[in-house]
Amino acid sequence: MFKFQDFDGKLLALRAEMTAPVARIVTTRMQSAPEPIRLFYINNVFRYNQSYLKREREFCQAGVELVGCNTPEADGEILSLFISSLKLVGLNEVRVDLGHAKLLKDLLNVAGLDEQQKVAIQGLLACRDSVGLNNFMEQNSFPSKLREIFLELSRCRRLGDLSSVSLKGSNYNKVNNQLENLIELQKTLMDYKIEDFVFFDFSLTKKIEYYTGMVFEASVPNLGLPIGSGGRYDNFIEKFGKLKLPATGFALEIGKLLQALTAQGFEIPSNQKSRVIVSSKFRKTAINVIKILRDAGIATSLEVTGRTIEKTLEYAKITSADYVVSVDMEPKNLTIYHIESGESRKLSLKSFLRNIKR
């Protein structure tokens, strides 16, 4: 059972896997939910791709979706949560590259390029090859104004830089609307005081075709892969039912977060609890001791096979237990066996609890 929760903590026990099933769930189980719908999830996901090693095709992902609103404020909230999540886990020098799924595509359509030419120009943009880009546009008879816009957008590094970019003519209405949306998003990011984390990347469009607006991915130095990504997908949910709802969200890959933390020298705490085996001929007394230890947060099990204390110590060593506690009828004085050192001593239950917590 995969569990979704809304941002307010109400449990939504639904069976699903990531973005596509989110859309299916919203259309089939949440038609009457008040909008916007805010959801989050943490679960293993599967991605089949020839470029992935087998062990990388299953990984743990944490994600957030905001459904039912397509304002700059909604995008700003998602980006703010995205960045704050990365900072809260302890990452330094977080960078978010942000593009627009339709901006480049619409400009390429206006230019009248075939698919092969579109792939070529996207490659030049991704490499930030301004010389190659200029040569390509000259060879393919780009209108001079359109050529200037391509070069200007490829030089933009911040969303605020887009305020100087505009195109005249009805053919460019969609493009101008997209630029205005990005500029308004910048103002929202400034209100959240996160604009310094976000960089504009004209070439970033994502391979998944359902994105319709902003697309973004996060990275940190010394790790060659994005650690999380997301974007807006306004026309996707309606494919799974009658509801036409805009949506935006992101997902973080937990394994890559851990790699990034390790690369930055962060030592991930083990939080490993001590493991105790209680051995006794007096079951009721042993169970009472186990209950006290478990209530104190100590992982405790009962020796249930009737082994001798010597055999129990051997078993504890093999199974990496930390202590064996031998209990008499009256548990005033326990015999505590420390597995790693091989030492044993008499202690009261209270003293043992105090020592083990220390």
**Which range among 148-152, 154-158, 207-211, 217-221 shows the weakest confidence by mean pLDDT?**
207-211
pLDDT band at residue 52 under the 50/70/90 scheme: very low
What are the backbone angles phi and psi of residue 173, rounded to the nearest 5°?
A: -60, -45
pLDDT class for 74, splitting at 50, 70, 90? very high
Average pLDDT over residues 185-210: 88
How many other CB atoms are there within 10 angstroms of residue 15's CB atom? 10
**Confidence band (pLDDT; 50, 70, 90) for 80?**
very high
Separation of alpha carbons 129 and 72, rounded Å: 31
Q: What are the distances in angstroms from CA 181 to CA 74, 105, 237? A: 12, 16, 22
The pLDDT of 160-167, averaged and rounded, is 88
Q: Which domains does the chain have, with CATH numbers?
A: 3-263 (3.30.930.10), 275-357 (3.40.50.800)
Confidence class of residue 12 from pLDDT cuts 50, 70 and 90? Answer: very low
Give CA torsion, residues 337, 341, 345, 349, to 10 deg. -60
CA distance 268 to 257: 11
Q: Compute the average pLDDT of residues 339-350.
A: 92
| Tens of pLDDT, residues 29-48 | 888 788 888 888 887 776 65
The pTM for the full model equals 0.71
- Measure the CA dihedral 284/290/291/296, to 10°: 160
Mean pLDDT of 57-68: 84
CB neighbour list of residue 246: distance below 8 Å, 6 or more residues apart: 67, 68, 69, 70, 232, 234
Rg of the chain over CA atoms, in angstroms? 29
User: What is the Cα–Cα distance from 7 to 11, expressed in whole angstroms?
Assistant: 10
- What phi, psi does 198 have (nearest 5°)? -110, 130
Q: How far apart are CA 195 and CA 183, in angstroms?
A: 12
Write down the H helix ranges in 103-172: 103-111, 115-126, 130-139, 144-155
Give the Cβ contact number of residue 168 at 10 Å: 8
Collapsing DSSP states into helix, strand and coil, what is residue 246?
Answer: coil
Upstream peptide bond of 221 is cis (omega within 30 degrees of 0): no
